[in-house]
Amino acid sequence: MTRTALITGATSGFGAAAARRFVAGGWRVIVTGRRADRLQALVDELGAGNAHPACFDVRDEAAMRAALAALPGDFANVDLLVNNAGLALGTLAAQNASLDDWRTMIDTNITSLVVLTQALLPTLIERKGAVINISSIAGSYPYPGGNVYGGSKAFVTQFSLGLRSDLHGTGVRVTSIEPGMAETEFTLVRTHGDQLASDKLYAGAQPMTAEDIAEQIWHVATLPAHLNINRLEIMPVTQSFAGFQVFRG
């Protein structure tokens, strides 16, 4: 039986790569995002029988619910929710950061994720499906300027663990995937469109690719039904930990 994954944030990066991976593996995908042209291009590439575009801003709850209600027959029974849509905005210290950026991150990374998850839980429970939430190493390891982004991802990780606890006995699997540095449009978005800054960050660093993360999502989703990976933290070999900072006045 063909299974169906709903992947948010599939117009770019991890989400687009995951959509390709799942269709290559014989699944159907519902691909979401705000950029309709990119969704259509992805559907054209993957085939309309394999991919269905649902264009909405995840912060718009009414649009999200309307898109779910409008899913065509073959796509209506969602077996896997990949909560991937998300972003970081800015790297300024909290005292200088933009409150608008903070609100956008909280609304996108936290509020939208819990609303969509709750909307799909009845279907996921009925189908003994799975939820894969894309968190980040930023949720476990603080760094200067990571403030609200890191906080939002700590929420995603902890919500994932709590969800798993609540879903005990239902057969629904829940995983928090926590990637480190991966080259996507993430830094372009974080810097409000500074391509040079994005290129500089990744230059010579051998970051992970979107396909690397898509492969992890696929791996988690296709484990034998009795196994649940709770948390999966992954970094490029070139990235590791540094010490605490000490201020001497």
Catalytic positions: 149
Query: Would you count residue 137 as binding ligand 8X3 (CB under 6 A)?
Result: yes
Are residues 202 and 105 in contact, defined by beta-carbon separation less than 8 angstroms? Answer: no
Query: Would you count residue 197 as binding ligand NDP (CB under 6 A)?
Result: no
Query: Which of 109, 213, 18, 24 lies closest to 6, judged by CA?
Result: 18
CB of 64 to ligand NDP, least distance (A): 9
Q: Phi and psi at residue 17, in whole multiples of 5°?
A: -65, -40
Query: Would you count residue 198 as binding ligand NDP (CB under 6 A)?
Result: no
> Please, which residue, 123 or 152, has the CB nearer to ligand 8X3?
152
Q: Which stretch binds ligand NDP (CB under 6 A): 70-78, 158-166, 180-188, 227-235?
A: 180-188
What does each C-alpha distance from 207 to 74, 229, 235 come to in angstroms? 37, 23, 8
Identify residues 132-161 at the interface with ligand NDP (CB under 6 A).
Answer: 134, 136
Identify residues 46-105 at the interface with ligand NDP (CB under 6 A).
Answer: 57-59, 84-87
What does each C-alpha distance from 105 to 48, 77, 92, 181 come to in angstroms? 32, 29, 14, 18
- Binds 33: which of ligand NDP, ligand 8X3, none (CB < 5-8 Å by kind): ligand NDP
What's the CA gap between 29 and 50, in Å, rounded? 6
Q: Is 245 exposed, middle or buried (0-12, 13-18, 19+ CB in 10 A)?
A: exposed
Give the residue at shortest CB distance from ligand NDP: 13
Chain residues binding ligand NDP by CB under 6 A are 9-15, 33-35, 57-59, 84-87, 108, 134, 136, 179, 181-182, 184-186, 189
